[in-house]
Amino acid sequence: MLRIGPLRRFTVSSLDSLTSSAFVAHQRAESLWAQPRSGDKDAQFDDVRRAARREIIYRNALRAITLSRPDMLSDSKTPLETRVIRMRLRYAGAVIGPKPVDREMTLRLLRAPSGKWIAFSLYTAEDDPRPDGV
């Protein structure tokens, strides 16, 4: 582990709002009418990919609530906790080649009240969409 981020607290209703707005942003980015910034198709593709990843992170976070504490029914006011961990993973073996490869990754964890920490997102540092508050 390289760094453990601060504990963040928010409610299920905040996560629901973030999920809804990410869904709309992803639809807008994928729209046939979306115009690339300054005619750059690569930038447009990156925007679509980033929007899709952000939407996936929020949906995975919603699923992680149930996995964290399966015996609890959560409502909109249920408090949640998250942490971001910067870590380095080493890949090695016959498929990788003769030298191991180190990759810096961002791991996101979520916990419902008195529940287990559940990992819901793992991205390389450069691919991480950096979702708001999660």
* Closest to 44 measured CA to CA, from 62, 57, 31: 31
pLDDT of residue 34: 65
Six-digit token string for 128: 């991480």
Residue 106: φ, ψ to 5°: -115, 120
Among positive and negative, which fits the CA dihedral 133, 59, 19, 127? positive
Among positive and negative, which fits the CA dihedral 133, 10, 64, 75? negative
pLDDT, mean of each 10-residue run, the chain (134 residues)? 95 95 91 68 85 95 96 92 96 90 95 96 91 81
pLDDT of residue 37: 63
pLDDT of residue 132: 83
pLDDT of residue 130: 86
Quick one: three-class SS letters along 24-48?
HHHHHHHCCCCCCHHHCHHHHHHHH
* Closest to 121 measured CA to CA, from 52, 47, 61: 61
- For the chain, the domains span 3-124
Q: Are 75 and 103 in contact (CB under 8 A)?
A: no
